[in-house]
Amino acid sequence: MSEALNIVYAPTPTLERFHRSGATVRGVMGHMGGGKTVGLCNEIKMLAQAQEPGRDKVRRNRWMFVRNTYGELEKTTIKTWLEWVGGEALGRLRGKFPIEQRLRWAMPDGTEVDLECQFVALDLDTDAGKLKSWEVTSYFFNELSEISYAVFKMALRRIGRFPKSEVHGVMPTWPCIIWDSNPPDMDHWMYRAFEQRRPRGYEIHKQPPAAIIDPTGPYRSEEGTRYRINPECETLRWLGEDYFARMIEGQPDEEIKVYVLGEYGMVASGLPVYGNTYNDATHYSSEGMVVYEGLPLLFAFDFGLTPACVIAQFSPAGQLRIIDELYEEGLGIEEFLEQIVVPHLAQHYPWATNRDQRKGWGDPAGRSSQTGKDDCFAILRDHGFDVRPSPDLSNDFRTRKAAVEWFLGRSPSGRPALLIGPKAHMIRQGFLGKYRIERKKGLREGELKSEPVKNEHSHLHDALQYLCLGIRGGAGRDDAKVRARRVQSRRHSAARTAAGF
């Protein structure tokens, strides 16, 4: 039995938070070169030493290391693991399918660590059945985005089954699933599990981006977007600027977004409507945003049988915040209001009860009757909304798009003029590529069509455009300022003036 090798490991701030966590399912996500796998290998070593010893003073652990192929296991996972536990000094690698290693080392308190490692390749849904007979302490998924959801779910059922109290006199102390990954596409099961649903006991720790979009930056992508290296990148001091510059210069923006910025990707035909004008790291807040009860809510509606509603508010400092969204298929505007919008307001914004607190804009086409009874704006007035047609009655897409871009392009006092909150999930997806313009086919193949694809994201983005265009027309912005002056201090008013609104 050997002594544990004293290998110096200095965790980054993100990995330090990860190590402090006790969540059952926890992972680290970020750009390439972020030290994610190194951190998780050290987490396994620390958890093995933290396991409660059995009756014989042995701290038993059985870990399953999972990658999508054996080639990747040998080239990346096992290589990093051996580097950070001291090669094979504590135990030799054996076998091939799976590869096994058993490590034993003494602890200062007189106990012994007995760590069994199995390195396996699993990527298909059908591989989930292979996990049924394995009794392990915990799992490490290296590059979780390459693993199927079926395998992940089966692994969750199999943790915490070693050591056994009836045999060893102790149960697993820290059974868990830990994982690392570059960001997947937003349609990936990981996004749904860790962003949309995130059950109790799930955590995701995100690293700061390695680069930032900057019009004056020294590095240019294939599409011409300019970037600069982020000084807050946690591994910059070890890898150097050139490491990340090589991943930017001349590379596609979509790949840079995933592998350098550490943002979720987007699989969609055509091009995003807003291109790189929208920066998720700048314009999206994953934290819940404060809603100011003293200030009115701003609404924007798209009509038809796929009605959509955007709910926004100006902060006291003048930042336009998209705080909520509502969307439904197969309803007219009256049914949409009565079944969806009004109950939602009563539950989440009960103080916004009158027209002074429910101002906004809508599709100017709603002036014509859609129900045979009245126009959409009259129906909105009947339900307590002061919503007017968007100022551009021609409803030109380019004009509406430019109104949103006006906000996206401004950062007064270092704050983005437009901020998307976590409740506006579909709007965010639209900015990331789901709201897109397809290329033409046929004789003029390759040229872009003049209008975006009509889908669930387009209806909400149409509404957002009516909102921004209405504010740019002046009324909504002025109303928000007047109301803010009534309920906020002079200090807040000065902040709005300094912000340029």
The pLDDT-based confidence of 196 (bands split at 50, 70, 90) is confident
| 340-345 contact pairs (CB < 8 A, 24+) | 340/309, 341/309, 341/383, 342/383, 342/384
Give mean pLDDT, residues 420-447.
77
Which parts of 33-173 are beta strand (E)?
Answer: 58-67, 93-94, 99-106, 112-121, 138-142
Within the chain, all domains assigned CATH 3.40.50.300 are found at 2-206
CATH code of the domain made up of 297-499: 3.30.420
Please determine, for residue 331, whether its predicted confidence score (pLDDT) is greater than 90.
Answer: no
pLDDT in tens, 64-82: 999 988 888 999 999 999 9
Structure-block tokens of residue 344: 């939602």
Terminus-to-terminus CA distance in the chain, angstroms? 70
CB 131 within 8 A of CB 154: yes
The pLDDT-based confidence of 491 (bands split at 50, 70, 90) is very low
Give mean pLDDT, residues 296-324.
94
pLDDT at 268: 56
Give mean pLDDT, residues 415-434.
91
The pLDDT-based confidence of 484 (bands split at 50, 70, 90) is very low
Q: Residue 95: CA atoms inside 13 Å, Cβ hemisphere, count?
A: 12
Structure-block tokens of residue 286: 């994953």
pLDDT at 185: 83
| 472 vs 124: CA distance, rounded Å | 51
The pLDDT-based confidence of 447 (bands split at 50, 70, 90) is low
| 38 vs 76: CA distance, rounded Å | 11
pLDDT at 1: 56
**Higher pLDDT, residue 114 or 478:** 114
Give mean pLDDT, residues 289-294.
89
Please determine, for residue 394, whether its predicted confidence score (pLDDT) is greater than 90.
Answer: no
| 393 vs 252: CA distance, rounded Å | 38
Question: Which burial class, exposed, middle or buried, applies to 190 when counting CB atoms under 10 A from its CB (0-12, 13-18, 19+)?
Answer: buried
State the fold for domain 2-206: Rossmann fold (3.40.50)
pLDDT at 4: 60
pLDDT at 369: 52
The overall average pLDDT reported for the chain is 87
CB 222 within 8 A of CB 250: yes
- Three-state DSSP class for 120? strand
Within the chain, all domains assigned CATH 3.30.420 are found at 297-499
The pLDDT-based confidence of 126 (bands split at 50, 70, 90) is confident
244 Cα distance to chain centroid: 22
The pLDDT-based confidence of 86 (bands split at 50, 70, 90) is confident
Give mean pLDDT, residues 121-144.
87
pLDDT in tens, 133-153: 889 999 999 999 999 898 999
DSSP state of 178: E
pLDDT at 197: 86
Closest by CA position to 460, among listed 330, 342, 303: 303
Q: Residue 380: CA atoms inside 13 Å, Cβ hemisphere, count?
A: 27
CB 448 within 8 A of CB 276: no
**Higher pLDDT, residue 8 or 232:** 232
pLDDT in tens, 375-392: 899 999 999 999 999 998
Q: Model pTM? A: 0.59
Give mean pLDDT, residues 46-73.
95
Give mean pLDDT, residues 115-119.
96
pLDDT in tens, 451-483: 888 887 899 999 999 999 999 984 334 443 433
pLDDT at 474: 45
